[in-house]
A and B are shown apart, each in its own frame.
Chain A
């Protein structure tokens, strides 16, 4: 009996320790939400409820492009990156999983090495490639770079999904004279829907949050994304309005929070799926 009670106390103690370790993070997120709706906060104590911090939604920011333009840019960036990444990765993953062709081994090991390789070190050369292609300071350019950097991981994840599907499924269709493309589209893709969803969520979140690429590879107002906007707001010395800053931040966080709340069980698995340590 005492032993049992002891075990329970240990368990409670363990939970308390983890809660204590998590406390810094908890307070930060609590502050972010509070501050967006307060006139001022001292530590995590808010003072004076207000919606004034959200005035950027109808007034915009001084000397900045409209918030809707910036939001649209960010959304286009994230969505197109996601579509390119998932579409190209599932095409390539299928070929690598199902076809014999010269260069297959090379392709596989090359993407595998690149997958472990921290891409940020390449920024200087990527900058130069975009300059030469005339794609510097264009959303199209940054989108292609982002998709390319994420593709090696995506290809390997997709290949893994296809490897787990039995050959029999498509064999009869192929014997009946169905094209490879149709087999891929009509038979295999529907079978890996959860995998496509997982990769899409991952790609979208990663695209939505991306900061360094648009910050370095674009410069004009028309190509602003929300991360670049926030960086400008932080860097602006006249800017001491933390209420406005956190409201903008929380606005930027909305999709991230939605995915975090509604796809939680996915997230642990996605990130367990051999994600590169995106310390970037």
Chain B
């Protein structure tokens, strides 16, 4: 591994060997990561597009044929596509509005308006769902929403006169959105909190001197000043929600009934990798995934331009130190 290279201050003029070292040293340093990322990240992006234009399935695996845009035409004409698309919009729209942005804003505003230690404690607690293994998280939600006499939700709601029910089958969307939302909230919460913190105290004081109420101060000083972080969270989380299906897979698996909570990414997974119908269709599933991949690549490149991701990624490292 050790490259005996002295890049700076080599006494001899740059010779042949030194030049080779100049290429070789960075290659050794970046090589391992580059190979892994190429094989399992970059290549799959290309492969998804390629596979999506074949009829690859378990039945045809030994004799794969190129079918051009046929899979995409099938998606376009399929009757389930509208249903899946509608589900995806419901899922992304509501989770984003009420939790990843809504709840995140509420929590960051409230926790910055209480004593610091309490605020930090609450914010830390809200991180727990994010590091809880998804399988356990799903079990907890199943119990939380279970029918009487077991479910926690019914135990709280029945004194209020709500008829006990199994919420997961009665209101699957509500549960799916809430379960995803309670995990997604922390991302926005952290970003909004640090944005609120970085507002110069003078601005807030000036508003106070002018006699603004707390609400006016939030509405006319704080919110306008954190509109970029809000926009960032909206676009970033739209992308991750579009692609996410793990919690839905564990909670409802797209049900109950026929495609009730089946979203686009879950549909791609079901078609290509789940053996429910026996014959898994890699090609068709890949076409479904490829649409998400293209959206993802375009969106990522746009974020890169708009938000100067560069700074976003490297900025907070000093804090950790």
Interface 1/0s, chain A 10-24, versus B by CB < 8 A?
A: 110011011101101
CB-based contact B321/A211 at 8 Å = no
Taking a contact as CB atoms under 8 Å apart, the answer to whether B33 and A112 are in contact is no
| Chain B 15-48 near chain A by CB (<8 Å), digits 1 or 0 | 0000000110111111011101101111111011
Q: Are A116 and B303 in contact (CB under 8 A)?
A: yes
Residues on the A chain within 8 Å of B194, using CB: 272
A interface bracket (residues with beta carbon within 8 Å of B):
35 or more
Q: Closest A-chain residue to B237, C-beta based?
A: A277
Q: Are B320 and A270 touching (Cβ within 8 A)?
A: yes
Please tell me if A274 contacts chain B, counting CB pairs below 8 Å. Answer: yes
Q: Contact between B139 and A95 (Cβ–Cβ < 8 Å)?
A: no
Closest residue of chain B to A89, judged by CB? B33
The residue of chain B having its C-beta at the shortest distance from the C-beta of A202 within the complex is B131
CB B131 to nearest CB in A, in angstroms, measures: 5
- A179 with B3, Cβ < 8 A, contacts A14-B114, A22-B126, A95-B30 known: yes
**A147 at interface, CB cutoff 8 A:** yes
A220-234 to B contact mask, C-beta < 8 Å, 1/0: 000000110011001
Q: Are B149 and A15 in contact (CB under 8 A)?
A: no
- How far is it, in angstroms, between the C-alpha of A269 and the C-alpha of B191 when the chains are bound? 11
Mostly helix, strand, loop or mixed at chain B's interface? helix
Considering only CB atoms, which chain A residue lies closest to B303 in the complex?
A116
Q: Do residues B150 and A43 form an inter-chain contact, with CB atoms below 8 A?
A: yes
Contact A125–B6 (Cβ < 8 Å)? no
Complex Cα–Cα for A79 and B207 (A)? 51
Q: Are A180 and B39 in contact (CB under 8 A)?
A: no
In the complex, the answer to whether B150 meets A42 with C-beta atoms within 8 Å is yes
- For the complex, is A111 an interface residue (Cβ under 8 Å from B)? yes
Residue A266 is within 8 A (CB to CB) of chain B in the complex: yes
Residues of B within 8 Å of A44, CB to CB, are 152, 155
Inter-subunit contact B155/A157 (CB<8 Å): no
> Of A19, A89, A120, A211, which is within 8 A of B243 by CB?
A120
**B277 → chain A closest CB, angstroms:** 16
How distant is the Cα of A100 from the Cα of B126 in the complex, in angstroms?
42
Task: For A273, give its contact among B9, B111, B130, B316 (CB under 8 Å).
Answer: B316
CB distance from A123 to the nearest CB of B (A): 6
* Bound CA span A175–B257, Å: 70
Chain A contact residues, majority secondary structure: helix
Closest to B123 in A: A268
- Point out the residues of chain B lying under 8 angstroms from A94, CB to CB: 29
From the candidates A99, A120, A128, name the one contacting B26 in the complex (CB within 8 A). Answer: A99
Considering only residues 117-137 of chain A, those with a C-beta below 8 Å from chain B are 117-129, 133
Does A67 have its Cβ within 8 Å of any Cβ on chain B? no
Which residues of chain A (1-36) have a CB below 8 Å from chain B?
Answer: 10-11, 14-15, 17-19, 21-22, 24-29, 31-32, 35
A109 proximal to B (CB < 8 A)? yes
Min CB gap A252→B, angstroms: 6
**A121 interface neighbour in B130, B153, B155, B293, Cβ under 8 Å:** B293
A189 within 8 A of B: no
Residues 286-321 of B contacting A (Cβ, < 8 Å): 286, 289, 292-293, 296-297, 299-301, 303-304, 309-310, 312-321
In the bound assembly, the distance between CA atoms of A273 and B7 in angstroms comes to: 32
Interface pair A144/B132, CB less than 8 Å apart:
no
Q: Which chain B residues border A148 with CB–CB below 8 Å? A: 36-37, 39-41
Q: Is B113 in contact with A14, judged by CB distance below 8 angstroms? A: yes
User: Is B40's CB under 8 angstroms from A145's CB?
Assistant: yes
A82, CB-defined interface residue at 8 Å: no
- Residues of B contacting A24 with CB < 8 Å? 144, 153, 178, 182
What are the residues of chain B within 8 A of A278 when measuring CB–CB?
A: 130, 240
The 7 closest A-B pairs by CB, nearest first: A43-B155, A118-B243, A125-B44, A148-B40, A160-B314, A95-B29, A279-B244
15 extra interchain contacts, Cβ-Cβ under 8 A, other than A230-B133, A268-B120?
Answer: A21-B103, A25-B125, A101-B23, A115-B309, A122-B41, A128-B51, A148-B37, A209-B132, A216-B269, A260-B128, A264-B124, A267-B127, A271-B130, A274-B316, A279-B241
Q: List 20 interface pairs A-B (beta carbons < 8 Å), by A numbering.
A: A18-B111, A21-B106, A88-B32, A99-B26, A104-B26, A115-B309, A116-B239, A120-B244, A121-B243, A124-B48, A124-B286, A124-B289, A125-B286, A160-B313, A181-B3, A216-B269, A242-B143, A267-B127, A268-B123, A277-B236
